[in-house]
Amino acid sequence: MGELRALDYEHEGVLLKGELALPAGPGPHPAVLVMHDAHGLGDHVRRRALALADLGYAALATDMYGGGKLFTGQTEVGPFFLDLQENPQRLRGRVLAAFEALRARPEVDQARMGAIGFCFGGQCVLELARSGAAARGVVSFHGLLHTSLPARAGEVKAKVLVLTGGRDPYAPADAVAGLQRELTEAGVDWQLTVYGEGWHAFTDPNPEKASVPGVRYDPLIDKLSWAQATAFLDATLRD
């Protein structure tokens, strides 16, 4: 594995401290945002960014809260998370700030960009797609599916892959059906996998999260969802 290097960027006066993983070899490389869950930038997304760099992508582990830190307690992170949920334009703007920060790097092929995200990060990548940003593909892992700024017909450029658990209380069946309707009506090229036995956060082995209601790591679904996501990125960013 390679290593991560600091990539600071800014949005509305907040200093955001991302971490960038680069592939070996000369660029420009296809490039992917890697967007963290509600707890902030931690080892889960760092590992994914490094894994993507091994596969040939410039991968930016983003920072949605400022300071680039992981919050271990829900009390501490709550205000940061809620501020973005209550200000959907700010949330979307902050995602786009990360996208622009990655796009501005000389190592990046600006025509071959995408994003993946986990839980809250899954919501963020859907917002990136809904915004009409020039991403080719986005992947939501056990993401939040709701939005107050739904996709508009003909405006979404990215192909969208949604990977969700049939038992995830944060993405219930009616939210899944609602997202399918939203994306279909907007003419989005989407794909959606329901892992029937999957709970929330099925990719995250962090034992501290196992106490959160509805959360369960699943090694098989983790492996299969990663295989699916990397095949999708390969097909959409490299074709």
Q: Which residues would be at the binding site for its own copies (CB under 8 A)?
A: 166, 180, 183-184, 188-197, 220, 223-224, 227-228, 231-232, 235, 239
Nearer CB in complex with its own copies: 18/143 = 143
Nearer CB in complex with its own copies: 204/218 = 218
Q: Count Cβ atoms within 10 A of the Cβ of residue 20 and give its class: 0-12 exposed, 13-18 middle, 19 or more buried.
A: buried
Q: How far is the CB of 231 from its own copies (least distance, A)?
A: 4
The Cα-based distances of 48 to 13, 90, 117, 134, 215 in angstroms read 28, 25, 10, 22, 19
Nearer CB in complex with its own copies: 96/186 = 186
- 8 A C-beta contact, residue 232 and residue 191: yes
Nearer CB in complex with its own copies: 57/232 = 232
HSE-CB at 82 with a 13 A cutoff on CA atoms is 6
Closest C-alpha to 115, from 141, 93, 81, 152:
141
| Residue bearing tokens 């025509």 | 111
Q: How far is the CB of 161 from its own copies (least distance, A)?
A: 9
Q: How far is the CB of 102 from its own copies (least distance, A)?
A: 24
HSE-CB at 74 with a 13 A cutoff on CA atoms is 5
Residue 95: enclosing H or E segment and its boundaries?
Answer: helix 88-103
Residue 21: enclosing H or E segment and its boundaries?
Answer: strand 14-21
Nearer CB in complex with its own copies: 173/210 = 173
Rounded to whole angstroms, the Cα distance separating 234 from 214 reads 31
Q: How far is the CB of 166 from its own copies (least distance, A)?
A: 7
| Residue bearing tokens 């679904």 | 221
Q: How far is the CB of 192 from its own copies (least distance, A)?
A: 5
Nearer CB in complex with its own copies: 85/193 = 193
Closest C-alpha to 140, from 130, 149, 148:
130
Pairing between β-strand 4-11 and β-strand 14-21 as defined by DSSP bridges: antiparallel
Q: How far is the CB of 169 from its own copies (least distance, A)?
A: 15
